Each structure stands twice: as structure tokens, then as C-alpha cells.
């Protein structure tokens, strides 16, 4: 978004998300198929992780996912099980 009022359907739907997570405007996945990040097949996961590797806000995304304990999907270049393992290590 450009600081103006949202006009397209996508901008209207994305507005609340971008208000809460402003870094998401710079995400490499903003135009990607969400199914890649939540589908769960090996092929989908590999494609999603490849997108994350090129993402400029990977750290912000991972911080958010860990902070709110996102249970599902790929966030910050990590799968659900990788985040669970990391959280166990951090808490231990
Ligand atoms: S790190 Fe991955 S899931 Fe997070 S915003 Fe970037 S591309 Fe999307």
C-alpha cells in the first residue's frame, strides 16, 4: 500500500493485516499462493521455504511467529515443527 486509502479488493482485505504487521508489505510471499505456506506437502513446503530465503523481512516474520506462537504454516523460513523445536530450546 502507498499510504492512501485502499481501493482494490486485495488492498481492502490486506489493510488490517498491514496495519498490524507493517513489515508484511515487504514480504517476498505477498503475491504467492498461500496454499504453498499452509498446504503441507513436501513440494509446497520446499517452494515456500525457497521464497522465504529471498525475503527481506524474514527476521520480522519469524519474530512475529514465535511471539504469537503461530501454530500453522511456514513463517520466517521455518516450518511448524522447526518453530516448535526452536521454542522448546529457547524455553528450556
Ligand atoms: S519469511 Fe517467508 S512467510 Fe515470512 S514474510 Fe517472508 S516470505 Fe513470507
| Tens of pLDDT, residues 10-45 | 566 667 778 899 999 999 999 999 999 999 899 999
pLDDT at residue 2 greater than cutoff 60: no
Whether 41 is in a domain gets the answer yes
Which pLDDT belongs to residue 18?
A: 81
How confident is the model over 45-75, as pLDDT tens digits?
999 999 999 999 999 999 999 999 999 999 9
Which are the contacts of 24, defined by CB distance < 8 A and separation ≥ 6? 14, 17, 18, 30, 57, 61
Whether 44 is in a domain gets the answer yes
Give yes or no for a contact between 7 and 30, defined as CB atoms under 8 angstroms apart: no
C-alpha of residue 58 to centroid of ligand 1, in Å:
5
Ligand 1 in reach of 36 Cβ (< 6 A): no
Whether 1 is in a domain gets the answer no
77: left (phi over 0), alpha (psi -120 to 50) or beta: left
pTM of the model: 0.84
The domain in which residue 37 lies consists of 9-91
Whether 31 is in a domain gets the answer yes
Ligand 1 in reach of 14 Cβ (< 6 A): no
By alpha-carbon position, which residue is closest to atom 5 of ligand 1?
27
User: Helix (H, G, I), strand (E, B), or coil: what is residue 78?
Assistant: strand
* Dist. CA 8–CA 14, nearest whole Å: 10
- How many domains does the chain contain in total? 1
Ligand 1 atom closest to the CA of 54, numbered from 1: 7
Amino acid at each position: 500500500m502507498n499510504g492512501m486509502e485502499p481501493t482494490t479488493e486485495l488492498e481492502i482485505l490486506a489493510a488490517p493485516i498491514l496495519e498490524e504487521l507493517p513489515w508484511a508489505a515487504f514480504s517476498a510471499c505477498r503475491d504467492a499462493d498461500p496454499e504453498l505456506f499452509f498446504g503441507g506437502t513436501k513440494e509446497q513446503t520446499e517452494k515456500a521455504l525457497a521464497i522465504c530465503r529471498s525475503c527481506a523481512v524474514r527476521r520480522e516474520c519469524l519474530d512475529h511467529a514465535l511471539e504469537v506462537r503461530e501454530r500453522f504454516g511456514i513463517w520466517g523460513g521455518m516450518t511448524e515443527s522447526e518453530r516448535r523445536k526452536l521454542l522448546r530450546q529457547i524455553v528450556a
